[in-house]
Protein backbone atom coordinates (compact mmCIF):
# COMPACT_ATOMS: atom_id res chain seq x y z
CA UNK A 1 0.00 0.00 0.00
CA UNK A 2 1.32 3.44 -0.86
CA UNK A 3 2.40 5.63 2.04
CA UNK A 4 0.63 8.81 3.03
CA UNK A 5 2.82 11.73 2.09
CA UNK A 6 3.45 14.09 4.97
CA UNK A 7 2.92 17.58 3.59
CA UNK A 8 5.72 19.64 5.14
CA UNK A 9 4.70 22.69 3.12
CA UNK A 10 1.18 22.73 4.54
CA UNK A 11 2.29 21.97 8.10
CA UNK A 12 4.97 24.66 7.96
CA UNK A 13 2.42 27.15 6.62
CA UNK A 14 0.20 26.37 9.61
CA UNK A 15 3.10 26.88 12.07
CA UNK A 16 4.01 30.19 10.45
CA UNK A 17 0.38 31.30 10.52
CA UNK A 18 0.23 30.49 14.22
CA UNK A 19 3.38 32.56 14.82
CA UNK A 20 1.93 35.44 12.77
CA UNK A 21 -1.36 35.34 14.64
CA UNK A 22 0.37 35.30 18.06
CA UNK A 23 2.61 38.22 17.11
CA UNK A 24 -0.40 40.20 15.96
CA UNK A 25 -2.61 39.26 18.92
CA UNK A 26 0.00 39.97 21.60
CA UNK A 27 1.51 42.95 19.74
CA UNK A 28 4.99 41.48 19.95
CA UNK A 29 7.94 43.20 18.38
CA UNK A 30 10.27 40.48 17.19
CA UNK A 31 13.46 40.77 15.13
CA UNK A 32 15.76 38.21 13.56
CA UNK A 33 19.28 38.97 12.33
CA UNK A 34 20.66 36.63 9.70
CA UNK A 35 24.37 36.81 8.96
CA UNK A 36 25.74 35.28 5.79
CA UNK A 37 29.44 35.24 4.93
CA UNK A 38 30.55 34.59 1.35
CA UNK A 39 28.44 33.77 -1.67
CA UNK A 40 27.50 30.09 -1.43
CA UNK A 41 24.39 29.84 -3.65
CA UNK A 42 22.61 27.29 -1.44
CA UNK A 43 23.14 29.47 1.65
CA UNK A 44 21.85 32.46 -0.30
CA UNK A 45 18.62 30.58 -1.09
CA UNK A 46 18.16 29.61 2.57
CA UNK A 47 18.73 33.19 3.73
CA UNK A 48 16.21 34.54 1.21
CA UNK A 49 13.64 31.98 2.34
CA UNK A 50 14.18 32.99 5.96
CA UNK A 51 13.66 36.63 5.03
CA UNK A 52 10.40 35.81 3.24
CA UNK A 53 9.17 33.79 6.23
CA UNK A 54 9.95 36.75 8.54
CA UNK A 55 7.90 39.06 6.35
CA UNK A 56 5.00 36.63 6.41
CA UNK A 57 5.08 36.29 10.19
CA UNK A 58 5.51 39.99 10.97
CA UNK A 59 9.07 39.53 12.24
CA UNK A 60 11.52 42.26 11.38
CA UNK A 61 14.49 40.80 9.53
CA UNK A 62 17.99 42.24 9.52
CA UNK A 63 20.35 40.83 6.97
CA UNK A 64 24.13 41.11 7.10
CA UNK A 65 25.87 39.86 3.96
CA UNK A 66 29.60 39.88 4.55
CA UNK A 67 32.30 39.17 1.97
CA UNK A 68 34.09 35.79 2.09
CA UNK A 69 37.34 37.54 3.13
CA UNK A 70 35.75 38.83 6.37
CA UNK A 71 37.99 38.07 9.34
CA UNK A 72 36.92 36.14 12.38
CA UNK A 73 37.26 39.20 14.63
CA UNK A 74 35.02 41.29 12.40
CA UNK A 75 32.32 38.65 12.57
CA UNK A 76 32.68 38.37 16.36
CA UNK A 77 32.36 42.15 16.65
CA UNK A 78 29.17 42.10 14.59
CA UNK A 79 27.77 39.38 16.86
CA UNK A 80 28.62 41.50 19.92
CA UNK A 81 26.73 44.42 18.38
CA UNK A 82 23.71 42.21 17.61
CA UNK A 83 23.81 40.70 21.11
CA UNK A 84 23.44 44.23 22.50
CA UNK A 85 20.78 45.38 20.02
CA UNK A 86 17.31 45.45 21.61
CA UNK A 87 15.60 45.22 18.22
CA UNK A 88 17.29 41.89 17.54
CA UNK A 89 15.80 38.95 19.41
CA UNK A 90 17.33 36.15 17.39
CA UNK A 91 20.73 35.80 15.71
CA UNK A 92 21.45 33.22 13.08
CA UNK A 93 24.82 32.80 11.42
CA UNK A 94 24.33 30.82 8.23
CA UNK A 95 26.58 27.74 8.21
CA UNK A 96 28.88 26.55 6.80
CA UNK A 97 31.24 29.50 7.16
CA UNK A 98 34.27 29.79 4.87
CA UNK A 99 37.17 27.57 5.98
CA UNK A 100 39.21 30.24 7.80
CA UNK A 101 36.50 30.68 10.47
CA UNK A 102 36.37 28.87 13.77
CA UNK A 103 32.65 28.00 13.64
CA UNK A 104 32.53 26.81 17.22
CA UNK A 105 33.92 30.12 18.52
CA UNK A 106 31.41 32.03 16.37
CA UNK A 107 28.46 30.05 17.71
CA UNK A 108 29.64 30.41 21.30
CA UNK A 109 29.78 34.20 20.88
CA UNK A 110 26.01 34.42 20.22
CA UNK A 111 24.05 35.18 23.37
CA UNK A 112 22.30 31.92 24.38
CA UNK A 113 19.08 33.95 24.74
CA UNK A 114 19.30 34.95 21.07
CA UNK A 115 20.57 31.59 19.81
CA UNK A 116 17.47 30.68 17.79
CA UNK A 117 19.33 27.83 16.07
CA UNK A 118 19.96 26.29 19.52
CA UNK A 119 23.55 25.44 18.60
CA UNK A 120 25.20 27.19 21.58
CA UNK A 121 26.74 24.77 24.09
CA UNK A 122 24.50 25.98 26.89
CA UNK A 123 21.35 25.41 24.79
CA UNK A 124 22.61 22.00 23.69
CA UNK A 125 23.12 21.11 27.36
CA UNK A 126 19.61 22.29 28.22
CA UNK A 127 18.16 20.11 25.48
CA UNK A 128 20.08 17.15 26.88
CA UNK A 129 18.38 17.53 30.27
CA UNK A 130 15.00 18.42 28.79
CA UNK A 131 14.86 21.99 30.15
CA UNK A 132 14.99 24.20 27.13
CA UNK A 133 13.57 27.37 25.59
CA UNK A 134 14.65 26.61 22.03
CA UNK A 135 14.91 23.39 20.10
CA UNK A 136 17.16 23.13 17.06
CA UNK A 137 14.96 23.92 14.07
CA UNK A 138 15.41 20.84 11.88
CA UNK A 139 14.88 18.15 14.57
CA UNK A 140 12.01 20.17 16.04
CA UNK A 141 10.45 20.34 12.57
CA UNK A 142 10.84 16.56 12.19
CA UNK A 143 9.00 16.07 15.48
CA UNK A 144 6.11 18.22 14.22
CA UNK A 145 5.93 16.08 11.10
CA UNK A 146 5.89 12.90 13.18
CA UNK A 147 3.16 14.36 15.42
CA UNK A 148 1.09 15.17 12.33
CA UNK A 149 0.79 11.44 11.59
CA UNK A 150 -0.89 10.78 14.94
CA UNK A 151 1.69 8.06 15.66
CA UNK A 152 2.68 8.13 19.32
CA UNK A 153 6.47 8.00 19.73
CA UNK A 154 6.28 6.42 23.20
CA UNK A 155 7.60 2.86 23.19
CA UNK A 156 8.32 2.89 19.44
CA UNK A 157 11.58 1.70 17.93
CA UNK A 158 13.14 4.86 16.53
CA UNK A 159 16.25 4.77 14.36
CA UNK A 160 18.15 7.91 13.41
CA UNK A 161 20.77 7.57 10.67
CA UNK A 162 23.38 10.30 11.21
CA UNK A 163 24.95 11.69 14.36
CA UNK A 164 25.74 15.31 13.51
CA UNK A 165 25.44 17.93 16.23
CA UNK A 166 22.81 19.84 14.28
CA UNK A 167 20.53 17.01 13.18
CA UNK A 168 21.25 13.42 14.23
CA UNK A 169 22.15 13.84 17.90
CA UNK A 170 19.43 16.35 18.85
CA UNK A 171 16.88 14.34 16.83
CA UNK A 172 17.73 11.26 18.90
CA UNK A 173 17.34 13.31 22.08
CA UNK A 174 13.90 14.65 21.11
CA UNK A 175 12.66 11.15 20.30
CA UNK A 176 14.03 9.99 23.64
CA UNK A 177 12.22 12.85 25.44
CA UNK A 178 9.01 11.43 23.98
CA UNK A 179 9.87 7.96 25.27
CA UNK A 180 10.97 6.39 22.01
CA UNK A 181 13.48 3.53 22.13
CA UNK A 182 16.20 5.22 20.14
CA UNK A 183 19.12 3.84 18.13
CA UNK A 184 21.58 6.20 16.46
CA UNK A 185 23.38 4.86 13.39
CA UNK A 186 26.42 6.35 11.71
CA UNK A 187 29.18 5.60 9.23
CA UNK A 188 30.68 2.90 11.48
CA UNK A 189 27.40 1.11 12.24
CA UNK A 190 27.39 -2.59 11.43
CA UNK A 191 24.33 -4.30 9.94
CA UNK A 192 22.70 -0.99 9.14
CA UNK A 193 19.95 -2.61 7.07
CA UNK A 194 18.86 -4.88 9.93
CA UNK A 195 18.94 -2.05 12.46
CA UNK A 196 16.89 0.23 10.22
CA UNK A 197 14.39 -2.53 9.51
CA UNK A 198 13.48 -2.57 13.20
CA UNK A 199 12.36 1.05 13.07
CA UNK A 200 8.76 2.09 13.54
CA UNK A 201 10.08 5.63 13.03
CA UNK A 202 13.09 6.04 10.75
CA UNK A 203 14.85 9.38 10.38
CA UNK A 204 17.50 9.68 7.66
CA UNK A 205 20.07 12.49 8.02
CA UNK A 206 23.03 11.19 6.07
CA UNK A 207 23.49 13.53 3.12
CA UNK A 208 23.67 10.76 0.49
CA UNK A 209 21.08 10.58 -2.30
CA UNK A 210 18.76 7.56 -2.27
CA UNK A 211 20.72 5.95 0.58
CA UNK A 212 17.70 4.39 2.31
CA UNK A 213 16.21 1.65 0.15
CA UNK A 214 13.00 -0.35 0.62
CA UNK A 215 14.84 -3.36 2.10
CA UNK A 216 15.92 -1.11 5.02
CA UNK A 217 12.36 -0.15 5.91
CA UNK A 218 9.78 -1.95 8.02
CA UNK A 219 6.26 -2.28 6.63
CA UNK A 220 4.14 0.56 7.99
CA UNK A 221 7.03 2.69 9.25
CA UNK A 222 7.07 6.49 9.51
CA UNK A 223 9.98 7.67 7.35
CA UNK A 224 11.37 11.17 7.78
CA UNK A 225 13.89 12.25 5.14
CA UNK A 226 16.12 15.11 6.30
CA UNK A 227 18.59 14.85 3.43
CA UNK A 228 18.92 17.60 0.85
CA UNK A 229 21.15 16.47 -1.98
CA UNK A 230 21.62 18.21 -5.29
CA UNK A 231 21.90 15.79 -8.20
CA UNK A 232 23.99 16.40 -11.31
CA UNK A 233 20.84 17.31 -13.24
CA UNK A 234 20.25 20.10 -10.72
CA UNK A 235 17.28 18.38 -9.06
CA UNK A 236 16.97 18.06 -5.29
CA UNK A 237 16.73 14.62 -3.79
CA UNK A 238 16.56 13.24 -0.27
CA UNK A 239 18.42 10.44 1.47
CA UNK A 240 15.48 8.08 0.93
CA UNK A 241 14.71 6.30 -2.32
CA UNK A 242 11.24 7.76 -2.36
CA UNK A 243 9.58 5.66 -5.10
CA UNK A 244 10.29 2.28 -3.54
CA UNK A 245 10.17 3.25 0.13
CA UNK A 246 6.80 4.94 -0.29
CA UNK A 247 5.40 1.54 -1.32
CA UNK A 248 6.36 0.12 2.08
CA UNK A 249 6.12 2.92 4.64
CA UNK A 250 2.85 4.14 6.15
CA UNK A 251 3.99 7.79 6.15
CA UNK A 252 6.85 9.46 4.32
CA UNK A 253 8.16 12.99 3.83
CA UNK A 254 8.97 14.14 0.29
CA UNK A 255 12.07 16.12 -0.76
CA UNK A 256 11.52 18.93 -1.47
CA UNK A 257 8.42 19.85 0.53
CA UNK A 258 9.04 17.82 3.69
CA UNK A 259 11.55 18.69 6.39
CA UNK A 260 13.04 21.73 4.60
CA UNK A 261 10.06 24.09 5.01
CA UNK A 262 9.63 22.95 8.61
CA UNK A 263 13.14 24.09 9.52
CA UNK A 264 12.25 27.67 8.60
CA UNK A 265 8.87 27.53 10.32
CA UNK A 266 10.53 26.38 13.55
CA UNK A 267 13.03 29.22 13.23
CA UNK A 268 10.09 31.66 13.20
CA UNK A 269 8.68 29.94 16.28
CA UNK A 270 12.04 30.19 18.08
CA UNK A 271 12.32 33.89 17.21
CA UNK A 272 8.90 34.50 18.72
CA UNK A 273 9.93 32.57 21.85
CA UNK A 274 13.15 34.60 22.05
CA UNK A 275 11.20 37.87 21.77
CA UNK A 276 8.77 36.78 24.50
CA UNK A 277 11.63 35.85 26.85
CA UNK A 278 13.55 39.07 26.19
CA UNK A 279 10.47 41.28 26.52
CA UNK A 280 9.25 39.70 29.73
P1 LIG B 1 26.72 15.51 8.35
O2 LIG B 1 27.55 15.27 7.14
O3 LIG B 1 27.23 16.38 9.44
O4 LIG B 1 26.35 14.10 9.01
C5 LIG B 1 26.06 12.97 8.23
C6 LIG B 1 25.95 11.78 9.14
O7 LIG B 1 25.70 10.65 8.33
C8 LIG B 1 27.23 11.49 9.94
O9 LIG B 1 26.91 11.46 11.32
C10 LIG B 1 27.70 10.14 9.43
O11 LIG B 1 28.18 9.31 10.48
C12 LIG B 1 26.45 9.54 8.82
N13 LIG B 1 26.80 8.66 7.72
C14 LIG B 1 27.58 8.93 6.66
N15 LIG B 1 27.72 7.83 5.88
C16 LIG B 1 27.00 6.85 6.48
C17 LIG B 1 26.76 5.50 6.18
N18 LIG B 1 27.29 4.92 5.11
N19 LIG B 1 25.98 4.80 7.03
C20 LIG B 1 25.43 5.36 8.10
N21 LIG B 1 25.62 6.65 8.45
C22 LIG B 1 26.40 7.38 7.64
O23 LIG B 1 25.33 16.02 7.79
P24 LIG B 1 24.12 16.82 8.53
O25 LIG B 1 24.50 18.23 8.69
O26 LIG B 1 23.61 16.06 9.70
O27 LIG B 1 23.04 16.76 7.34
C28 LIG B 1 22.55 15.53 6.84
C29 LIG B 1 21.67 15.81 5.64
O30 LIG B 1 20.56 16.59 6.06
C31 LIG B 1 22.34 16.60 4.53
O32 LIG B 1 21.82 16.16 3.30
C33 LIG B 1 21.90 18.01 4.78
O34 LIG B 1 21.88 18.80 3.60
C35 LIG B 1 20.51 17.78 5.29
N36 LIG B 1 19.99 18.85 6.15
C37 LIG B 1 18.73 19.25 5.88
C38 LIG B 1 18.15 20.23 6.66
C39 LIG B 1 16.75 20.64 6.36
O40 LIG B 1 16.33 21.71 6.76
N41 LIG B 1 15.98 19.80 5.67
C42 LIG B 1 18.86 20.80 7.71
C43 LIG B 1 20.13 20.34 7.99
C44 LIG B 1 20.69 19.35 7.19
Burial 224-241 (b: 16+ CB within 10 A, else e): bbbbbbeeeeeeebbbbb
Q: Which of 128, 194, 222, 203 is nearest to 159 (CA)?
A: 203
Considering the segment(s) 136-260 as one domain, its CATH architecture is: 3-Layer(aba) Sandwich (3.40)
Residue 210: exposed, middle, or buried by beta-carbon count in 10 A (0-12, 13-18, 19+)? middle
Q: Which of 16, 50, 156, 218 is catalytic?
A: 50
Domain extent listing, the chain: 27-112, 136-260
Question: How confident is the model over 183-200, as pLDDT tens digits?
Answer: 999 999 999 999 999 999
Flag residues of the chain having pLDDT under 70.
1
Q: How far is the CA of 163 from the centre of ligand 1 (A)?
A: 8
pTM value is 0.97
Q: Which fold has domain 27-112?
A: Rossmann fold (3.40.50)
Domains 27-112 and 136-260 share a fold: yes
Edge-to-edge strands, sheet with 222-225: 4-5, 251-252, 222-225, 201-204, 157-161, 181-185
Residue 42: the pLDDT is 87
Task: Please give the Cα distance from 206 to 227 (Å, whole number).
Answer: 6
Nearest atom within ligand 1 for CA of residue 255: 41
Nearest atom within ligand 1 for CA of residue 238: 32
Mutate to test the pocket of ligand 1, among 162, 186, 216, 253 (most ligand atoms within 8 A of CB): 162
Q: How far is the CA of 210 from the centre of ligand 1 (A)?
A: 13
Residue 5: the pLDDT is 98
Residue 185: the pLDDT is 98
Measured CA to CA in angstroms, residue 161 lies from 25, 151, 169, 232 at distances of: 40, 20, 10, 24
Amino acid sequence: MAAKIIDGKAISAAVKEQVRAEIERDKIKAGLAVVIVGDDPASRVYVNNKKKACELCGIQSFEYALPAETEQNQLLELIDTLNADKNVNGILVQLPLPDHFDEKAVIERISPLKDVDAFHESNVGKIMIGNYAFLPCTPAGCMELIHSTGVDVAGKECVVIGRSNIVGKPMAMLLLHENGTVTVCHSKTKNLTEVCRRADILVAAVGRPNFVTADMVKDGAVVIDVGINRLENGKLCGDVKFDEVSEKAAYITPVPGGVGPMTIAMLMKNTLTAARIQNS
